[in-house]
Amino acid sequence: MSRDKKPQNPRRKPAPETSPEPPSLFDNLDAFLTAPAAAPAPQAAAPAASGNGAGEGGAPAAPAPVAAPADGAAKPPPREKEAFVHGGKGPMRELMNDNFLQFASYTICNRAIPTVEDGLKPVQRRIMHALWEKDDGRLIKVANIVGHTMQYHPHGDASIGDAIVNLANKRYLIEGQGNFGNLFTGDPAAAMRYIECRLTELARHELFNPKLTAFIPSYDGRNQEPVLLPSKLPLLLMLGAEGIAVGLSTTILPHNFIELLEAQIAIIQKKPFKLFPDFQTAGLMDVAEYADGVGRIKIRARIAPRQHNRLVITDLPWGNTTESLIADIEDAIRRKKVPVKEISDFTSDKVEIELTLVPGATQEKATQALYAFTRCESSVSSRPVVLYQNRPREMTVGEILAVCTEQLLDISRRELELRRDQLDAAFHAKTLEQIFIEQRIYKRIEEQTTYEAVQQAVLEGFVPFRKQLRRDVTLEDVEGLLQIRIRRISRYDINKNREEIAAILKEEGEVADNLAHLRAYVVRYLKGLIKKYSRDYPRLTEIAARPFGAIEVRELTATELTIKLDREGGFIGTDVRGGEELFKCSSLDKILVVWDDGRYKMMPPP
């Protein structure tokens, strides 16, 4: 055989173009499951044995080369290159998208973001519902409320306990007894089995009305929980809220209860109003960069001079505790930013942090240094993102309060209509009872032999008195009359019954008048709340008359450092011991050092 043309190695032969590549799982799951295996490479036929070949003695011969396809033979069409899609475009991508959207929707609508309508997150709403179900006016162990709430809340008990403590510390809805922690020091609450709570009078009367509440099955279908509470209070702005969901977060600052009620009156009367936050830790507030719930505020601790060399902090900036503030002041002392040598914390039910100044420091400059270099002045940002009609939405404080006011009007109207229907039913029942006894209709049943005949006799007995009734007598009405005991008939007081009917008619007139003048009725209701609770909820945070001025930090630190020179050792800096004092400077200054040969260097104080 000629050696000019060697046979090709079958191991290095490329796969034929007709063999399809298995598709990706992300492209098409069905095609992946049903794709045929790649066809094996065709084997070349063995050549005939010859004397010169390598196949003598039973050794395998080299395979012959495969013939190339003849010209004009059909070739498979080239595969089109598909556009790249991040994550694929098959069923796995759809599965991941659906699961992520479900998780995001659940986190936004059922965990992290509060609703405008009742101002509560789901865990808070379930806690309030559980407290209302258990409410008998007496204190209940928090552990019992946690267990009862778990019938409605599909998460752990720790989150429920923390939410109860948080609501109790905000004072409006839950009254606590025992150690619920300290808002000023940051101390935690006692264990749930050691503390007790109950609804406040405000929550008991203004948040619940089962006849105006829509219910849905709980997560396991065994109980019914409220979709929303029929709250007549602007709870969202009273309590404030913070939450982080998927793709969005919310920060709503708390406001003063009485000021919110006054603003609602202004909305009803179509008058202008302004609202600013109010914090339980009090302090002094600059609202120059705050506009209707959006923006940021600056809030300062209240620092007052005491004696000739001391300062006392009596209010905290929102978001700080005495422990965190003292730690921050100590750090500033180590950095030589504030002229304080001693800190004493006397906080109990009120904040009292006493600072003793270093000799030679003035109280005014020390106060400015505390505002400049510590958390005695802090910034708080606000960005209200809420659920309105079960959809996330960014709203201003004015828009939130307008929605709450419209809801107050709607709930008040529905309550009046409900009371009107109750009074109408009471009038009908009292009138039926009066006619039944005064006209001795009950005597007609003595001669009847069947129950149906008894019912018919009673119905016929009311026919002459139909004009005294507002509607026809039904079998249900007859059943109620037949339940009246003989003792009650014998002791029936005609005058008392007429007085009760007159009282019903009077109240019906009042209800009709209130429905006709609904806005005036709601304004009277709001003014009643203001009169009742104004002493319990005064404003705590003072609004500054003018914006906080810029603090000249360089002026405060002008003598912060002392530069010394050690001529013998050739050292210069602030930590040189026993050297010659050259001058005082600030850590913000730059020092220019010049050598005799003209070299120079600019650097921060060494």
SS3 136: coil
Query: Distance between CA atoms of 518 and 524, rounded to whole angstroms?
Result: 10
- Closest listed residue to residue 117, CA positions, set 404, 406, 408, 405: 404
Q: What values do phi and psi take at 170, rounded to 5?
A: -85, -5
Q: Is 537 a catalytic residue?
A: no
Residue reference for tokens 């001079």: 305
The helix or strand, by DSSP H or E, that contains position 554, with its residue range, turns out to be helix 553-556
Cα–Cα nearest to 127, from 172, 180, 173, 171: 173
Tokens at 602, concatenated: 């600019």
Of residues 458, 460, 470, the one with CA closest to residue 428? 470
Phi, psi of 64 (to 5 degrees): -75, 155
The secondary structure of residue 196, as a DSSP letter, is E
State both tokens at 95.
């599965």
- Collapse the DSSP code of 167 into the 3-class scheme (helix H, G, I; strand E, B; otherwise coil) and give the result: helix
The one catalytic residue in 106, 194, 219, 451 is 194
**Residue 490 is encoded by which pair of tokens?**
């014998």
Q: Say how far apart CA 182 and CA 270 lie, in whole Å.
A: 41
On the 0-12 / 13-18 / 19+ scale of CB atoms within 10 A, 591 is middle
Q: Which amino acid is at 507?
A: E
- Of 263, 232, 541, 279, whose CA–CA distance to 397 is shortest? 263
Q: Tokens 């794709």 identify what position?
A: 35
Supply the residues annotated as catalytic: 194
